[in-house]
Amino acid sequence: MDVKHIKKLIYSLIFLFIIGIVLFGYSQITTSSSTSNSTKYVNVLIYDGTGTMSSSVSGLENCLDEINNKSSNKKFIYSTAVEINSQTLEGYDVLIVPGGDASEYIQNSKIDNSSIKQFVSGGKGYLGICAGAFAASNYVDGYYSGWGLEPDVTAETVDYEGSLSISTTSFGKHLTNSSAVTIFHENGPALLTNNTEHILSTFADNNTGYEGYADMVGESYGSGRVILSGSHPELEPENQELLQNMLLWLSKNLD
């Protein structure tokens, strides 16, 4: 083989080598991009103003931090706010109103319930825990009207503090992955609704005096979704999986 042909062969090999490197680099970028795009990001706003129970707020923050540390494909970006209005809600997927004093929530001029309704009806999510469930119900029996985010739900007052057994329905089981759950309850509501298909869980015993009543209810409000929870998934014995799946369902990342 003469020198001319040898040079051609060397140039061809160098060209093929360069093409191989380029294609390999592209495949790595594509794979990395695909992995990144599979991560579900949910922006969460937690109300932390007048009437909130500090342990409920800190419990939510701790749970979300631990969920983020454990999972590479589910990330919850959260902030807190002492005012809830159209400006503070902008850019978020889910609003959480935690445990506390529901009457304070109802009377608080810094909570604009019309903005909450517009936020949810426009396709976003609302999670009301304990006081947040009282406030968002249609009516708190014997006391006051709520915001009506679940217009078919009446909240009954419960005098009970401690761990509680709840039974999940077929609708609720995909949030808990279990038919029975132990959860903390601190005088949250028992929820009465005629739309039984929206019940996520019920009180499994009569410790509250409301055996068989709904503890958690989830339904649509306009284009958005709402979950009211009488009990606290964020407090000991905390249930991070339940809280995670609640937020994924509310943000429409889980059917």
Interval 27-73: pLDDT, tens? 443 444 444 458 889 999 999 999 999 999 999 999 999 999 997 78
Structure-token pair, residue 35: 């992995």
CA angle 117, 231, 158 (to 5 degrees): 95
- Nearest one of 138, 108, 124 to 47, comparing CA atoms: 108
Long-range Cβ contacts of 142-146 (<8 Å, 24+ apart): 143/103, 144/103, 144/106, 146/102, 146/106
Q: Which residues contact 124 (CB under 8 A, 6 or more apart)?
A: 89, 92, 93, 94, 95, 224, 250, 251
CA angle 213, 144, 140 (to 5 degrees): 5
Banded pLDDT at 17 (limits 50, 70, 90): low
| Strand, helix or coil for residue 222 | coil
pLDDT value, residue 59: 98
Task: Please state, rounded to an integer, the average pLDDT across all residues of the chain.
Answer: 89
Summarize pLDDT for 149-196 with one digit per residue, the tens: 999 999 999 999 999 999 999 989 989 888 889 999 999 999 999 888
Q: H/E element holding 43?
A: strand 40-47
pTM: 0.85
pLDDT value, residue 255: 82
Amino acid identity of residue 35, one-letter, is T
pLDDT value, residue 30: 43
Q: Which of 8-12, 71-75, 80-84 has the lowest average pLDDT? A: 8-12
Under a CB-based contact definition with an 8 Å cutoff, are residues 130 and 229 in contact?
yes
Under a CB-based contact definition with an 8 Å cutoff, are residues 180 and 167 in contact?
yes
Q: Tell me the C-alpha distance between 35 and 13, whole Å.
A: 33
- Nearest one of 183, 205, 180, 42 to 124, comparing CA atoms: 42
